Amino acid sequence: MKCFYRALLFALPVLVLFAMCGVFASLAEAELQQAKAGAAAQAEEPESPPGYEKEYEAWENSEKETDLLKRGMMTIAAIKEFPKSTLIPNFEASFRRTLVECSTNKKYQELETLSEEWLKLHPNDFEAIARIAEAAAKLGHDDKYVLRIGELYKMKPTADLANDMAQTYKRMNNKAKYLEWAETSLKHPEYDSNFLLRLELVQSYWEAKNPAKAEEFARAAMKAADSVKEPSKETQAQLTEVRRACLDLIAKILYDQNKFAEAIKDFRQALKTKEYCEAYYYVGLCLHAQHNADDAMLWYAKASLCCETAGQQCGETGSKAKDNLEKVFKSLHDGKTIGIDKQYRYAREKAASFWIAAN
């Protein structure tokens, strides 16, 4: 038995060695199979295109740049250098993000410069043109702004774009272009109820001594005002003033055309919206021109009394009304003003509503 144990002890290291050899063989086989599998997987994956590392490095470097202008220019340079790169979508997304950051951080000079560079690579890119317009507006580059807004309008015509053009030209004191683009904006249905812009045109054409166009847009402004649905209290006040102003202007145009009866009608309508002294005075002028001296004196008196209340807001209307009343009264009373106070007393007794509702 002892011999058996001694033989066993002698053989044990040999058995262990054989066992370890088996383990190493198994491990080696496993590693070999793993290597073969890895090689097969690598063979299935597409190889990176030539120069990919350089392209990726360019993209990575631009992403790390904190200066927005430098980052944008680096991206532009990379796009020019690697026009067929698979990373082009990454470059483009990065560049557009840079433009957003320029806008958000109010870096408008950088935004303008980068957008113009982008436009060289992508002509007619709507977003780039819009970004240039945005920057130009903030930088006060009006000529560039109207140029770019005009391009946007051709691509996507809207009332707001046309009105932006109009208001910019107005600021530039280019009246012809302002009127052209303001009228263009009003042709869009979304501006059907825009009474304020029409009122602007009323004033502009009146100042340009074009009463026909002024009257046209005064009537259009009132029509637009009537189309406003559920106006707020503030808007209601605006609508009232718009109607009064438009009716007043139309009435004055009719007065200048010697259409006195029509003018009186519109002045009365204007007074229904809001009392104002000048309307009383003009009705007096119309009645005077129609040789209706008695009624003319009452309206002159009313205008004079109205101006006493209004004070400086009335301007010269009060004094003119008083002078005309005295002239008419004197012509009927041998050049004397005795008893003229009765005209004022009678006018004072009559409420404005009486005169508005008369005839």
Instruction: Report pLDDT digits (tens) over 247-263.
Output: 999 999 999 999 999 99
Q: Are 300 and 324 a contacting pair, CB within 8 Å?
A: yes
Q: Which helix (H) or strand (E) holds 183?
A: helix 175-186
Mean pLDDT in residue range 337-354: 70
Mean pLDDT in residue range 121-147: 95
Q: Which pLDDT score, from 0 to 100, does residue 74 have? A: 96
pLDDT at residue 355 is higher than 70: no
Cα separation, 328 vs 26, in Å, equals 130
Q: What's the chain's average pLDDT?
A: 84
> Global pTM?
0.72
Cα separation, 120 vs 77, in Å, equals 12
Tokens of 282: 């003009």
Q: Which pLDDT score, from 0 to 100, does residue 38 have? A: 43
The CA-atom distances, in angstroms, between 34 and each of 31, 40, 43, 272, 327 are 5, 10, 14, 97, 119
End-to-end CA separation in angstroms for the chain: 149
Q: Which pLDDT score, from 0 to 100, does residue 358 have? A: 44
Q: Residue 17 carries which side chain, given as an amino acid letter?
A: L
Lookup result for tokens 């303001």: 182
Q: Are 321 and 304 a contacting pair, CB within 8 Å?
A: yes
Give residue limits of the domains in the chain. 67-156, 275-359
Closest by alpha carbon to 109, among 347, 83, 117?
117
Instruction: For the chain, give the percent of residues with pLDDT over 90.
Output: 70
Closest by alpha carbon to 187, among 229, 155, 220, 227?
220
Domain 67-156: top CATH class:
mainly alpha
Helix then strand then coil, in percent of the chain rounded to 5, is 80, 0, 20
Task: Report the range of poorest mean pLDDT among 80-89, 122-131, 180-189, 327-336.
Answer: 327-336
For residue 283, the number of C-alpha atoms closer than 13 Å in the C-beta half-sphere is 29
Mean pLDDT in residue range 37-45: 43
Task: Report the range of poorest mean pLDDT among 12-16, 284-288, 351-355.
Answer: 12-16
Cα separation, 63 vs 77, in Å, equals 13
Mean pLDDT in residue range 92-111: 96
The CA-atom distances, in angstroms, between 221 and each of 48, 217, 281, 314 are 67, 6, 25, 25
Closest by alpha carbon to 275, among 354, 338, 203?
354
